[in-house]
C-alpha cells in the first residue's frame, strides 16, 4: 500500500513539473480590400509566415468600407485576438479602432497605411515617397521634361496615396516644363473611376496629354483602357505601382511604360513576424520611426523597385513575382 501511494505521489509530482503548453498566438489580419490582385499575395504570405511561427490567423477584408471594417474589428476582438494587424480604409478615422483594441489590451500593427493620431505599436510599410519619385523620374525621362501631366491619386485619407503623390511632386516641382493639368483622388482606388477621369481629361485637353502617373496598378490599367479608346495607348506615358499582373502585361504589350514593384512578400512576412513577436512579448527589429501625429511609431520599411520593359524579365519573371506564361500571355495572342 505504501509503495502504491508513493508511485501515485511521484506521478502527480512529475505531471506538475511538466509546463503547460503555451497557447498559440491569435493574430487578426484585416485588409481594406481584396480588389487588387496583389492582396491575394499579401494574405497568402502573411498566413504562411504566421503559421510557421505557430500562430493562428483570423482574416477579414472590408471592400473599402469603413463601416464593414468597424464590424470586422468588433468581430475579431470578440474572438480574443492578441494582436490586430490592420490596413485601414481611412487612416484619419481608424484611430477609433486602435482605442477599442487597446481597451481590450490588444496590440495594433498598422499595415501598409499609417493610422494617424493613434497609439499603434508598429507600422509596416514600403518607401512610398520613393515609389512616387521613381514614377516621376521615369515620366520626365520619357517626355524629355515637359508636357501636360495627370496624377491619379488613391482614396483621400490614405497615407500611401498621400506619400506616393508627395514623392511624385517632389520631383515634378523641379521640372518647369511640366504642367499638371489634373491631380485627383479616387474613392476605393477604383480603376473604373480612374478610367472615367482619364476619359474626361483627354476630352478637355483634346488628347494633349503626355504623361499619366497613377498611385497604383489598378488605376494605371484604367488609364490605359481610356487611352486605348483614343488609340493613344503606348503614345502617352503611363506609370503605376504594385506591379499587378495586368500592369506588367500592359508593359510587355507596349501599352504602359512603367511600374514600381513593391516587395509584397517582404512586407507581409515582416508584418506576420512583427505581430507574432508582439503577441509573445518578444523584441522586434525595426528600421526606423514614423511620426503619426501622436507619437513616434517604430516602423519596418520594405524595398521598392523600378520596372520597365527592359526589367520585366529580371525583376518580375526570374524572381517568380509573376509566372512567365502569365506575363507573356496577351502578347502571345497577338
Please work out, in degrees rounded to the nearest 5, the angle formed at the alpha carbon of residue 301 by the alpha carbons of 66 and 100. 35
Say yes or no to pLDDT of 200 above 80.
yes
Distance CA 101, CA 117 (A): 15
Is-contact 258 236, C-beta < 8 A?
A: no
For the chain, give the mean pLDDT: 92
Instruction: Give residue 9's pLDDT.
Output: 44
Distance CA 152, CA 213 (A): 6
Domains for the chain: give ranges and CATH numbers.
Answer: 26-126+264-301 (3.40.50.2300), 128-263+305-333 (3.40.50.2300)
DSSP 25: P
Instruction: Give residue 15's pLDDT.
Output: 41
DSSP 3-state assignment of 7? helix
Taking the model in full, what pTM does it have? 0.82
Distance CA 242, CA 161 (A): 12
Q: At what angle do helices 95-103 and 66-78 cross, to 10 degrees?
A: 10
* Arithmetic mean of pLDDT, 6-11: 43
Is-contact 275 249, C-beta < 8 A?
A: no
Instruction: Give residue 35's pLDDT.
Output: 86
Say yes or no to pLDDT of 3 above 90.
no
**Phi, psi (deg, nearest 5) at residue 101:** -65, -40
pLDDT in tens, 46-55: 999 999 999 9
Instruction: Give residue 158's pLDDT.
Output: 85
pLDDT in tens, 35-48: 888 899 999 999 99
Amino acid at each position: 500500500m505504501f509503495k502504491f501511494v508513493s508511485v501515485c505521489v511521484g506521478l502527480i509530482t512529475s505531471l506538475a513539473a511538466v509546463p503547460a503548453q503555451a497557447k498559440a498566438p491569435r493574430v487578426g489580419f484585416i485588409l481594406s480590400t481584396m480588389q487588387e490582385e496583389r492582396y491575394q499575395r499579401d494574405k497568402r504570405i502573411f498566413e504562411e509566415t504566421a503559421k510557421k511561427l505557430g500562430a493562428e490567423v483570423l482574416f477579414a477584408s472590408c471592400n473599402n468600407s469603413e463601416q464593414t471594417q468597424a464590424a470586422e474589428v468588433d468581430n475579431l476582438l470578440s474572438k480574443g485576438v492578441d494582436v490586430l494587424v490592420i490596413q485601414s480604409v481611412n487612416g484619419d478615422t481608424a484611430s477609433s479602432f486602435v482605442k477599442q483594441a487597446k481597451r481590450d489590451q490588444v496590440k495594433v500593427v498598422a499595415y501598409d497605411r499609417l493610422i494617424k493620431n493613434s497609439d499603434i505599436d508598429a507600422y509596416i510599410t514600403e518607401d512610398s515617397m520613393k515609389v512616387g519619385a521613381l514614377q516621376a523620374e521615369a515620366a520626365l525621362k520619357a517626355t524629355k521634361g515637359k508636357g501636360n501631366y495627370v496624377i491619379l491619386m488613391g482614396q483621400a485619407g490614405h497615407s500611401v496615396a498621400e506619400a506616393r503623390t508627395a514623392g511624385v511632386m517632389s520631383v515634378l516641382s523641379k521640372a518647369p516644363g511640366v504642367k499638371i493639368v489634373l491631380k485627383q483622388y479616387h474613392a476605393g482606388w477604383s480603376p473604373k473611376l480612374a478610367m472615367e477621369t482619364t476619359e474626361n481629361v483627354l476630352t478637355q485637353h483634346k488628347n494633349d496629354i503626355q504623361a499619366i502617373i497613377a498611385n497604383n496598378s489598378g488605376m494605371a490599367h484604367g488609364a490605359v483602357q481610356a487611352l486605348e479608346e483614343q488609340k493613344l495607348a503606348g503614345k502617352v506615358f503611363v506609370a503605376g505601382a504594385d506591379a499587378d499582373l495586368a500592369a506588367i502585361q500592359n508593359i510587355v504589350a507596349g501599352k504602359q511604360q512603367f511600374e514600381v514593384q513593391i516587395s509584397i512578400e517582404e512586407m507581409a512576412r515582416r508584418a506576420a513576424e512583427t505581430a507574432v513577436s508582439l503577441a509573445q512579448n518578444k523584441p522586434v527589429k525595426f528600421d526606423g520611426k514614423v511620426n503619426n501625429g501622436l507619437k513616434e511609431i517604430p516602423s519596418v520599411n520594405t524595398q521598392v523597385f523600378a520596372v520597365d520593359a527592359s526589367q520585366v524579365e529580371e525583376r518580375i519573371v526570374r524572381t517568380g513575382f509573376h509566372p512567365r506564361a502569365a506575363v507573356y500571355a496577351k502578347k502571345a495572342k497577338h
